[in-house]
Amino acid sequence: MYRRGVSSYRRGASSRTRKLVIGGAAAALLGSALAIGTGMSQAAEQGNPGAGSGNVSALVPALGFSPGDPNATADRVGPTGVNVPGRCPPTQAQVNAQVALKNGNLPSGTDLESRIQRFEKTLSAIQDLKCPASSTTLLGRLNSLTALRGNANRDDVLRGLGLNETPADRAAAPGSGDAAAGGATGNAGSGSGDINALVPALGFSPGDPNATADRVGPTGVNVPGRCPPTQAQVNAQVALKNGNLPSGTDLESRIQRYERTLSAIQDLKCPASSTTLLGRLNSLTALRGNANADNILRRLGLNETPAG
């Protein structure tokens, strides 16, 4: 009698288990179908066709800091001024591979939300590779993007920043094609007529000149609501103070352009923290002494000068 009870219980449990497994599988399939359907719907609405892993290298944002030494045991100063593990960040290729591994599709649109998603997924990949966000300049740049939410002109602002982050950006960039190919190389000086092509993008939406309250800047600290100035105002100030601006793609030319741009921003009564320039400048100065500095810069795809 006891044995029959046990046998009966086992048959009942087995039956219930099969039902739970079948029910769970059906729910999982339904959830997958809904997720796929929702993703397709969102992509169709936003016009952001996904990019397969083969295109990831063209879509993942540059890390903005030289790769760490995988054998390092000591910390080093990261691009935001805080210590990071000396082995960080990973190489761009490692991050690209991790992004591709975790994301079958990556938004490829030039709109704000597509860009934000690419930055978020890249930061996630960096954390998967056991490195902090502070070993790159990504977080500051992401803050610059998220601050644009709610701005009716956000896509125009993004184009004005000249991010050149996607193939579509590069195709639409001023001076692309033959004009870019004919850009100056080396360290020739540039007259003020070329300033617009040489001054680095500020990396944050312009302030409201009538603002009286502070706002959160791209580095997370409060800045005057009227800051930063517009890119055009900064370009004009740089031109006013510099008859010639280095136009080379080498490290020192880039550093000088950043330093002179930061000086112009301060002349216009705005702090460096109202832009992402200081973090990016730190990324450059950290490369001093690196024999491969110029090659690293080319790989970062900064597209900062006509020759870049």
Instruction: Give residue-wise pLDDT tens across range 107-124.
Output: 888 888 988 999 999 999
Quick check: 148 pLDDT over 70?
A: yes
Tokens of 110: 């030039």
pLDDT of 101 reads 93
User: Three-class SS of residue 83?
Assistant: strand
For residue 273, what is the enclosing H or E element?
Answer: none
Give the residue carrying structure tokens 């083969």.
54
φ, ψ at 51 (rounded to 5°): -115, 125
User: Three-class SS of residue 51?
Assistant: strand
Q: What is the mean pLDDT of residues 162-184?
A: 43
- In this structure, what is the dihedral angle of CA atoms 10, 14, 15, 21, given to the nearest 10 degrees? 160
Higher pLDDT, 176 or 60: 60
* Residue 300 confidence class, pLDDT cut points 50, 70, 90: low
Q: In angstroms, what CA-CA distances link 204 with 99, 201, 264, 306?
A: 25, 8, 16, 22
| Helices and strands, number each (H, E), in the chain | 13, 8
Quick check: 198 pLDDT over 60?
A: yes
For the stretch 32-79, pLDDT in tens is: 332 323 332 233 223 333 344 447 878 888 887 889 999 999 998 887
Query: What's the rounded Cα separation, in Å, for the pair 184 and 45?
Result: 42
Query: What's the rounded Cα separation, in Å, for the pair 187 and 78?
Result: 28
Query: What's the rounded Cα separation, in Å, for the pair 56 and 258?
Result: 29
% residues pLDDT > 90 (the chain) = 26
* Residue 298 confidence class, pLDDT cut points 50, 70, 90: low
Higher pLDDT, 153 or 139: 139
Residue 63 contacts residue 95 (beta carbons within 8 Å): yes
* Residue 144 confidence class, pLDDT cut points 50, 70, 90: confident
* Residue 140 confidence class, pLDDT cut points 50, 70, 90: confident
Question: Cβ neighbours of residue 102 under 8 Å, at least 6 residues apart?
Answer: 121, 124, 125, 128
pLDDT of 38 reads 30
Nearest to 165 by CA among 182, 149, 141, 146: 141
The whole-model pTM stands at 0.48
Quick check: 253 pLDDT over 60?
A: yes
Question: Cβ neighbours of residue 29 under 8 Å, at least 6 residues apart?
Answer: none
* Residue 271 confidence class, pLDDT cut points 50, 70, 90: very high
